[in-house]
Every structure is written in structure tokens, then in C-alpha cells.
């Protein structure tokens, strides 16, 4: 008769359960190992792609990407050269006046224009040497504007040489002369030289024509009987003689009274900074569009090398933006410096005025 060993059966059940549990554990371990292996394969694939991107086989789109960004993505106004300039060239229309070779004081500007225009026919007809021509031009500017770039008369004459808009149009400098000290001086020199030629080198009649118009001089056969014009043709020759006594050569500096020169430089830098600032928003907008181009290209990169290059390019763009901001701040700083110099010169002039003696009073 068969017998049933309950103890043995119990042990078999326990051992079977242990083996099943062990098999389950082993299965879990295998699944984990397979998962780890899969992760490792993915990591290796990622590393392979990174390595591939760092070789000549990666970054195939880099040249086109960089070229596109540099050129403004097809918009010339958004190119690097248009927004930030190249080398020492500032693309801002006011950049040359504020920071370039054109950043002259009023005396240097008069010298340059006098040199450029001393060969005009009217100047030769009057028998004026380059030095004399400079002295006459400087005296005219003194009378017209006291060397202030933004001077405006009640009738609309504007700038250093007080050119009327109609005359500026005839000279081909309207409206640009409103923002260009050079065009104001050069335009005035051209117009005065034209009057000298028209009146056969007669300086007094030419000055009268500059002030009242050539038609009036022809009408009266000489200087018109207008108080302003009569004064004009007497005070400018006086100032001409003063400047001529100070000018030892065409390029002589220090011939304009310090207070006037300081105020003139303040007007130049102030107007230049305003012009520079007024043109900055357009550049800022284009810079923002350039940043947008960079951001949009992030999703278009095909490999790590392009991503790294785009990140580097974005950093370079930030440096360009900082440089542009520094220039804008520098424009304002130049105005503050010019203002301080003008104030100091005014104080010196006041000091000289108060430095008198009893003999001088008598």
C-alpha cells in the first residue's frame, strides 16, 4: 500500500517555489542586463554620432549656415556689414562724424574745406591765396552762426553757413546738409565762390550777394541799402583781418577764440550724437532680426558640430551687440566731455573779463 510522506512533499513544494522564484529573479536580472545593454548601445550610438560630427564627415551644412547668417539670410540690410560694420567702419550714418576720420573740430573742418575749394574760379578771380580764402570763410562762418551747426534763422536759413533750403537744393545738398557740418561748410564755400565769380572777384559785392541775394546787388548796382547787409559787408572784413593776422599757414590751429571753439565743438558733438542716436533704432531692429535668424536655425541643425558652431556664432553675435552698445554710449560720453570743456572755457573767458586794472577802467 503506497504511503504519502507529507514532509517530503512539503519540502518539494518549497524547493519548487524557490526554483521558480530564482528563475524569476534570473529573468529579471536578464531583463535588466538587456535593458542596460540597450542603453549602452544607444550611448555608443550617440557617442559615435558625436565623434562623426567632429570629423570631416560632420558639419556639412556649416559653410552655408555661416554664410547665410553673415549675409543676413538674403536681406542685405541685415548683413553683418550693414548692421555692425567691418573693421573700423561704423555703418551708422553718423559714425564717421563721431568716430571716424571726419571727427574734426570746427577749425579743422574749415581748414579742410578751404583746401578743397581754394582752387575754385571765383577764389582765383578775387586773387585770394589759400590762407586768405580760409580766413574769409572762417570770418563768414563766425558772422553767420558763431560756429554753431544747428543755427537757424527766422526765415529758415540753416547751419554753420546759414544756407537757405532753396539754395541748398540748387547746390544739391538738401536735405542732407541739415545733418552734415561738412556739407554746410562746403556748400557755403561753393556759394561764396560762385558770388565771387559772378561779381568779378569783388569781395564786398560777393558778401552782399551772399547775404541779400545776387539779384539785389544787381538791382542796386552794389551793396543794397539794407541795414543788415551794410553791417554784414563791414563786420566780415574786420573779422577776416583778425583771423588773417592769426593764421600763419593754411593748417594753423588755435585761431578761433577758445570759448567759441568749445561751444562749436559742443554743437558738433551734440548734433553728431543725436544724429547717431536717431539712426541707431534701425540697426537695433536689424540686430534683433539677426538674433531671430539664429534661434530659428537651432531646430535645423543636422549634427552636433553644426549645433556647437551655431552656439559659438550666437556668442559672437552677442559680442557684436555689446560693441554696438558701447559705441552708442561713447557718443553720449563725447557730448558730456564737450559740454564740460565748453563750461570750462566760458569760466576762463569770464575770468579774463574780470581781470582788469584801474588803468584799464580809466
Neighbours of 242 (CB within 10 A): 16
Query: What's the rounded Cα separation, in Å, for the pair 110 and 140?
Result: 11
**Residues 206, 122 contacting (CB under 8 angstroms):** yes
For residue 163, the cross-strand partners are: 158
Query: What's the rounded Cα separation, in Å, for the pair 80 and 178?
Result: 28
What DSSP assignment string belongs to 118-177? TTSHHHHHTT--HHHHHHHHHHHHHHHHTT-TT-B-TTS-BTTTTB-HHHHHHHT-TTGG
Query: What's the rounded Cα separation, in Å, for the pair 123 and 6?
Result: 136
Query: What's the rounded Cα separation, in Å, for the pair 250 and 117?
Result: 12
Question: From the candidates 144, 219, 302, 360, which is the catalytic residue?
Answer: 144
Nearest to 135 by CA among 260, 258, 265, 247: 247
Query: What's the rounded Cα separation, in Å, for the pair 77 and 286?
Result: 7
Query: What's the rounded Cα separation, in Å, for the pair 297 and 293?
Result: 6
In total, the chain counts a number of residues equal to 362
Burial annotation 192-224 (CB, 10 A radius, 16+ → b, else e): bbbbbbbbebbbbbbbbbbbbbbebbeeeeebb
Q: How far apart are the first and last CA of the chain?
A: 161
**Residues 304, 50 contacting (CB under 8 angstroms):** yes
**350 is known as an active-site residue:** no
Query: What's the rounded Cα separation, in Å, for the pair 154 and 57?
Result: 72
Q: What are phi and psi of 217, to 5 degrees?
A: -65, -40
**Residue positions annotated with a catalytic role:** 144
Amino acid at each position: 500500500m503506497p504511503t504519502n510522506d507529507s514532509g517530503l512533499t512539503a519540502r518539494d513544494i518549497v524547493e519548487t517555489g524557490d526554483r521558480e522564484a530564482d528563475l524569476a529573479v534570473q529573468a529579471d536580472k536578464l531583463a535588466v542586463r538587456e535593458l542596460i545593454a540597450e542603453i549602452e548601445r544607444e550611448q555608443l550610438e550617440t557617442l559615435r554620432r558625436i565623434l562623426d560630427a567632429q570629423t570631416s564627415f560632420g558639419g556639412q551644412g556649416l559653410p552655408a549656415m555661416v554664410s547665410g547668417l553673415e549675409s543676413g539670410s538674403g536681406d542685405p540690410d541685415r548683413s553683418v556689414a550693414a548692421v555692425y560694420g567691418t573693421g573700423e567702419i561704423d555703418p551708422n550714418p553718423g559714425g564717421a562724424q563721431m568716430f571716424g576720420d571726419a571727427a574734426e573740430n570746427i577749425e579743422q573742418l574749415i581748414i579742410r574745406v578751404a583746401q578743397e575749394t581754394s582752387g575754385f574760379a571765383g577764389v582765383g578771380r578775387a586773387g585770394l591765396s589759400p590762407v586768405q580764402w580760409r580766413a574769409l570763410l572762417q570770418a563768414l562762418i563766425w558772422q553767420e552762426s558763431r560756429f554753431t551747426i544747428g543755427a537757424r534763422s527766422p526765415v529758415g536759413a540753416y547751419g554753420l553757413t546759414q544756407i537757405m533750403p532753396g539754395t541748398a537744393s540748387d547746390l544739391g545738398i538738401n536735405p542732407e546738409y541739415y545733418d552734415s557740418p561738412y556739407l554746410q561748410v562746403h556748400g557755403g564755400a561753393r556759394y561764396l565762390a560762385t558770388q565771387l565769380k559772378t561779381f568779378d572777384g569783388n569781395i564786398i559785392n560777393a558778401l552782399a550777394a551772399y547775404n541779400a541775394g545776387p539779384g539785389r546787388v544787381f538791382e542796386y548796382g552794389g551793396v543794397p541799402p539794407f541795414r543788415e547787409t551794410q553791417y554784414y559787408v563791414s563786420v566780415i572784413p574786420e573779422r577776416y583781418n583778425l583771423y588773417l593776422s592769426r593764421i600763419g599757414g593754411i593748417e594753423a590751429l588755435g585761431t578761433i577764440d577758445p570759448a567759441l571753439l568749445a561751444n562749436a565743438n559742443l554743437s558738433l558733438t551734440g548734433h553728431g550724437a543725436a544724429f547717431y542716436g536717431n539712426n541707431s533704432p534701425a540697426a537695433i531692429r536689424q540686430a534683433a532680426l539677426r538674433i531671430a535668424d539664429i534661434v530659428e536655425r537651432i531646430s535645423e541643425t543636422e549634427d552636433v558640430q553644426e549645433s556647437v558652431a551655431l552656439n559659438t556664432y550666437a556668442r559672437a553675435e552677442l559680442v557684436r551687440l555689446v560693441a554696438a552698445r558701447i559705441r552708442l554710449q561713447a557718443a553720449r560720453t563725447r557730448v558730456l566731455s564737450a559740454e564740460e570743456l565748453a563750461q570750462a572755457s566760458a569760466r576762463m573767458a569770464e575770468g579774463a573779463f574780470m581781470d582788469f586794472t584801474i588803468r584799464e577802467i580809466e
